Amino acid sequence: MDAPCDRQHLLGTSLDEFAASCEDCGMPPYRAQQVFEWVYAKGAHDFAAMTNLSKPLREQWARQWIVRTATVDRRQISTDGTVKLLLRWPDGAASECVLIPDGRRRTACISSQVGCPVGCAFCASGLNGLQRQLSAGEIVEQVMHVRDLCEPRTPEASAPPGTPPLPEPARLSNIVVMGLGEPLANYAALLRALRIINAPWGPDIGARSITVSTVGLPTQIRRLAKEGLQINLAVSLHAPEDKLRGRLIPWAKRVPIEELVAAGREYYETTHRELTIEYILLDGVNDQPEHATQLVKICRQMRCNVNLIKYNPVPGLPFDRPKTFAVQKFVERLRERGVNVHIRKSRGLDIDAACGQLRRSTLAR
Ligand code: SF4
């Protein structure tokens, strides 16, 4: 169980673990069920809200447990409905999570670490390095904060004035672990959090609606494949050959693309979930026809689709958004050669859209 502050974080705890703790205190296990219904089904933020439980009982739990530990430090709302939150944890660390509405779909993009140890050359998150890991409870808590935005269940969870109205139904449908950090470098906390997020007594998000994005740690990819979860894996390739990839993603210097492809193939063979190759197009760097041709060769080695992302420029970094015609040519080259390719819609361009930007602009203040 997590201990993000002096009390234990309920959101990082399974129902069984909490039931065992209740039993240790002489309470029947159904009490745990009642508390979890308040937290997940009714969206209670603290024990005080659990009004059908006796006051002494609530006070007893509140001395030992905490439901939510973060405060919302900043909130940015885009004209396209994207809402970005900067959460402040009790130790002062800050991390980002985002609600991305798209048609009937509501996606929460959450972080796995505070900062990031990878240091990709084009990314705001890596600029200040890794501050610390997020605990499982903190990873789950981000989901709950985002869920509050699109399906408020308690008065305190209501979206603030100015939030663009969201069409019905507004159930949080998808999770992407694509915010700050390298999720597979925080493996134990990530796995615990994913199991809670997926649990029927928890946020109850289907495994097939959860995507973990990684720069590619082959050992952890193989391990994840054997966890018995049907989650989607997205591999951030960003360059189709090792030298360029090593320049863009420092950790890639240790992992040749060939090794990554082998791990990706194993992931598909074990889980039967098709991989997504993420490829961020940087003007004049990795968006040329020869890069598309090299990418096709990689795609032919495993069952995958390609998600192209047009770069959102980060102030102070020497990369630009790709030209429209270069993106079109790149897509055509891939499609003509049978690759299933999508261009990710740019969202929240009028707010600090790129991952890590809101946190960084706050740190800079
Ligand atoms: S792109 Fe991802 S892995 Fe790379 S520095 Fe940013 S957060 Fe880390």
pLDDT tens per residue, range 119-172: 999 998 777 899 999 999 999 999 999 999 888 666 555 656 665 555 454 799
Report the percentage of the chain scoring pLDDT > 90.
79
Q: Are strands 174-177 and 113-115 parallel, antiparallel or unpaired?
A: unpaired
Q: How many Å lie between the centroid of ligand 1 and the Cα of residue 226?
A: 25
Does residue 96 contact residue 108 with C-beta atoms inside 8 Å? no
Task: Provide CATH 3.20.20.70 ranges for the chain.
Answer: 71-364
pLDDT of residue 104: 84
Q: Are strands 65-66 and 71-77 parallel, antiparallel or unpaired?
A: unpaired
Mean confidence (pLDDT) of the chain? 91
Q: How many Å lie between the centroid of ligand 1 and the Cα of residue 135?
A: 18
Q: 71-364: which CATH topology?
A: TIM Barrel (3.20.20)
Q: Is the CB of 234 under 6 A from ligand 1?
A: no
pLDDT of 326 above 90:
yes
Q: Could you identify the atom of ligand 1 that is nearest to the CA of residue 214?
A: 3
- pTM of the complete model: 0.93
Closest residue (by CA) to atom 4 of ligand 1?
Answer: 120
Q: Is 96 a catalytic residue?
A: yes
Q: Is the CB of 295 under 6 A from ligand 1?
A: no
Task: Provide CATH 1.10.150.530 ranges for the chain.
Answer: 8-66
Q: How many Å lie between the centroid of ligand 1 and the Cα of residue 126?
A: 6
Amino acid identity of residue 202, one-letter, is: G
Q: Is the CB of 109 under 6 A from ligand 1?
A: no
Answer with the residue of higher pLDDT: 277 or 76. 277
Q: How many Å lie between the centroid of ligand 1 and the Cα of residue 152?
A: 31
Pocket test for ligand 1, best of 178, 215, 255, 352 (most atoms within 8 A of CB): 215
Rounded CA separation 1/17 (Å): 8
338 by Cβ neighbours in 10 Å (0-12 / 13-18 / 19+) ranks as: exposed
Residues 1-46 have pLDDT tens digits of 444 468 999 999 999 999 999 999 899 989 999 999 999 999 999 9
Q: Could you identify the atom of ligand 1 that is nearest to the CA of residue 117?
A: 8
When pLDDT is averaged across residues 206-210 and rounded to a whole number, the result is: 97
**Listed residue (154, 125, 33) closest to 314, CA to CA:** 125
Phi-psi region of 117 (alpha: psi -120 to 50; beta: other; left: phi over 0): alpha
Q: Is 355 a catalytic residue?
A: yes
Residues 212-258 have pLDDT tens digits of 999 999 999 999 999 999 999 999 999 999 999 999 999 999 999 99
pLDDT of residue 167: 46
Q: Which two tokens stand for residue 106?
A: 């509501």
Amino acid identity of residue 111, one-letter, is: S
The four Cα atoms 128, 232, 109, 251 give a dihedral, to 10 degrees, of 10
Q: What is the dotted CATH code of the domain comprising 8-66? A: 1.10.150.530
Does residue 94 contact residue 86 with C-beta atoms inside 8 Å? yes
Pocket test for ligand 1, best of 95, 114, 123 (most atoms within 8 A of CB): 123
pLDDT of residue 80: 85
Rounded CA separation 255/247 (Å): 13
Quote the distance between the C-alpha of residue 20 and its chain's center. 30
**Listed residue (234, 151, 133, 152) closest to 192, CA to CA:** 133
